[in-house]
Structure 1
């Protein structure tokens, strides 16, 4: 990245995947960030911890809802590659929402779901914005945990992260070790005939666990809090647009 380039930030967050950027070097224009943990890490005003920018979906025209979604599950896109979630959802009688599908498809499904179980943080963020009740599934890869707390803190959500069971030997390995392993020996083994039986056992167990998770109490931020965050985010965007118009 060109360190001298001008950077504009609206709703992004620091996830801890890499070193902290120096946002005080004069090249950053931060209008708001995802949550209080990002603001604290970057040493910027806590007033800038408004919400993830997906909250602005509430101010947009959205695609029509689709029918018969019922209970849905959205895995993290990495879990789609590493596990057998389509099979597990089919066994559980739960609709799989693929985080890599076209945005309009995902929004239509989320609008009509009666409940979303989600390992993907943005599944919860978008569902919350659309007022679809959600249940947080603790990501199998531990490196994805911190950012959930960042977003939840912005909306005063007392986040409940629920255990998610793996659907493959590779996911089991990642959950136990905190490592990736997709290209290593474990990744190759999970695709081999020898892994067919353990993968099947794990997938059945994960399906049963999804059914049990669907009976848990779902979460939503307070209506007043999401409305406040939407208004503040809209105001921040309006100020940014005005400032850029005066420049040109």
Structure 2
């Protein structure tokens, strides 16, 4: 079985959890890099573009709308649980498969020591690191910048140590919620990243109402207003030219004030009961996965 997940440039916190978390939860040598069976774990990675003949073993993934819907009834898909009810509805799966994002299972792993001296942290979506100017905005606001491209243990330590996490990155909220750090979700600058939030939130009975965060520069304002990525030649020419400089500076200060305003709002957190229930259901699914595949190999 081959561990399969999205690998971005720069690395993305939620996806990179696959490289560390499963090693603690599954037996040694569970993965052998055999591409005939793909382990589809954390992320919006239920997609149509896997090899047609490969078996796809889904463990806590979600459908994010990034690609067309795969035919999950073609006999090559095996579902243990998925991120939420929007995934089951979109793909025609049994509603009982909607448990939670697999990253909730960090609760069952050894965690790093909490980082010290963090009151409020902000984690942008990893694409906003290149497009936006969030480190400078956080510095102006007196808020800790949580970089989603850093190694997972460093990010987890910051989330554990924070009193509040404001996050554009969905896995900033998922991990904060799982580890019981209050969080505030902000509307993603690019619209394609919004569907999946509701999928996860519904699974945990969270009344999710994303907050507006002022863009940190003109490129993000372009992305927010046009629904595009903000990286095309026209956007780059308009947003990085010399005449744009004062507008970028104004955006930066508005973004910092927006972060400060959000830090005073009431945060979100799923109930202890919902989180414990989802964790238990996810671990039951993991036990079933191990019994199915380890036992099969032991008697092969």
Q: TM-score range by the shorter chain?
A: over 0.9
**1:236 Cα deviation after fit:** 0.1
**1:55 Cα deviation after fit:** 0.4
Residue of structure 1 equivalent to 2:191: 142
Match of 2:250 among 176, 193, 201: 201
SS where residue 163 of structure 2 aligns? Answer: strand
Match of 1:220 among 264, 269, 273: 269
Contact 2:115–2:158, Cα closer than 8 Å, also in 1? yes
Superposed counterparts of 1:1-248, under 5 Å: 1-248=50-297
Equivalenced residue count is 248
SS where residue 137 of structure 2 aligns? Answer: helix
Aligned-partner Cα distance in 2 for 1:76–1:5 = 31
SS where residue 278 of structure 2 aligns? Answer: helix
**1:160 Cα deviation after fit:** 1.9
**1:189 Cα deviation after fit:** 3.4
Contact 2:124–2:147, Cα closer than 8 Å, also in 1? yes
Contact 2:220–2:230, Cα closer than 8 Å, also in 1? no
Aligned-partner Cα distance in 2 for 1:245–1:121 = 32
**1:121 Cα deviation after fit:** 0.6
Task: Give the structure with the higher percent helix.
Answer: 1
**1:193 Cα deviation after fit:** 2.6
**More deviation, 1-10/177-186:** 177-186
Moved >6 Å (runs of 4+): none
Contact 2:131–2:230, Cα closer than 8 Å, also in 1? no
Q: Deviations over 1:215-246 (max 9, x none)?
A: 00001000000000001000101101100023
Aligned-partner Cα distance in 1 for 2:173–2:79 = 24
Contact 1:182–1:188, Cα closer than 8 Å, also in 2? no
Superposition RMSD on alpha carbons, in Å?
0.9
